[in-house]
Amino acid sequence: MNGPSDGYASAAGVRMPRMIYGTAWKAARTADLVAAALNAGFRGIDTACQPRHYHEAGVGAGIAASGIARDALYLQSKFTPPGGHDPGTEPYDRRAPVATQVAQSFARSLDNLRTDRLDALVLHSPLATRALTQEAWRAMEGLVADGRVGLLGLSNCYALAEFDALYRAAEVKPAVLQNRFHARTRHDRELRAFCRDHGIVYQSFWTLTANGDALASATVRTLAERHQRTPAQILFRYLVQQDVVPLTGTTSLAHMREDLAVFDFELRPRECDAMGLLF
Ligand SMILES: NC(=O)c1ccc[n+]([C@@H]2O[C@H](COP(=O)([O-])OP(=O)(O)OC[C@H]3O[C@@H](n4cnc5c(N)ncnc54)[C@H](OP(=O)(O)O)[C@@H]3O)[C@@H](O)[C@H]2O)c1
């Protein structure tokens, strides 16, 4: 279970579970699955104010149904720039300046999630220009200054130079980078090193779905057999030991339990070295 012993990381002074339940693509099942995940032991929730992929109000309903106190949870949502929305579904005025869009989207997230603050607000992707990205970021910084957001993050940024530019320009430094963990991005090696060096938490998605070859590899199969775990558990455990926070959006109760059980065993340093050759 996501217990306090090794189940939490710290980012910019905010307590973040080392594995987070993702709520994309669950549509009408969102509330039930969020409640099930919280009852299984998850304490971190990732969502977005982006109706195309997330039913954020369903997340709020699931949290309420679980009965778990707000203070026991890490709640993370996203501001999605206009390009990430189906036209007409934006939670803001599409013609408004980006700062207004951030404020309107954030207000909708609070309403959907039935809370007065977020532990993390993530910019879903860089905007069309660096200037616009920084404008959005400044609006997000204002929410931190107001005490309504704990930390800020960026997602879908695969160029180190771009991330570094935001990092340098930011007054409130990014504390999270949420990216697809994928061979095509070389598993973000350079970006993960940057995160490590700057105390930024790297959150992975597509962790299982984009890494079928690695999961089927002799290295993972051997470790799975040795530790009596599934290949998915070996990969998640390896990432946790690298200080990566994986997102899992499983819809299966059995997988929820298996995912949380990665906190019950440990890979040895030599085993991590072998895993490192794959990623
Ligand atoms: N920032 C972004 O742009 C972005 C993009 C994509 C995702 N995300 C976030 O990341 C979360 C996770 O998304 P994801 O793309 O990584 O995929 P995912 O939604 O977690 O899907 C994982 C897939 O692997 C299967 N699976 C098999 N064994 C599993 C196990 N032990 N544990 C978990 N899943 C197992 C699942 O099937 P079962 O359901 O049958 O278990 C599911 O089909 C999303 O919900 C969202 O919050 C963010």
Confidence category of residue 10, pLDDT binned at 50, 70, 90: confident
Token look-up 């971190």 returns 44
Which residue has its alpha carbon closest to ligand 1 atom 31? Answer: 255
- The answer to whether 15 touches 8, Cβ cutoff 8 Å, is yes
Residues having CB closer than 6 A to ligand 1 are: 22-24, 46, 155-156, 178, 205-209, 232, 247-252, 255, 258-259
Mean pLDDT, residues 22-26 taken together: 98
Kindly state the percentage of the chain with pLDDT values over 90. 96
Q: What is the pTM of this model?
A: 0.97
The encoded tokens of residue 254 equal 């059995």
The encoded tokens of residue 73 equal 């949870």
Check pLDDT > 90 for residue 20.
yes
Q: How far is the CA of 135 from the centre of ligand 1 (A)?
A: 31
Rounded Cα distance between 15 and 20, Å, is 12
Walk me through the domains of the chain, giving residue ranges and CATH numbers. Answer: 16-210 (3.20.20.100)
Q: Report the atom number in ligand 1 closest to the C-alpha of 232.
A: 31
Rounded Cα distance between 263 and 192, Å, is 22
The encoded tokens of residue 256 equal 């929820």
Task: Give the model confidence (pLDDT) of 123-141 as tens digits.
Answer: 999 999 999 999 999 999 9
Rounded Cα distance between 123 and 50, Å, is 12
Task: Give the model confidence (pLDDT) of 82-123 as tens digits.
Answer: 999 999 999 999 999 999 999 999 999 999 999 999 999 999
For a pocket test of ligand 1, which of 125, 240, 247, 263 has the largest count of ligand atoms closer than 8 A to its C-beta?
247
Bridge-based pairing of strands 20-22 and 244-248 is parallel
Q: What is the mean pLDDT of the chain?
A: 96
Confidence category of residue 32, pLDDT binned at 50, 70, 90: very high
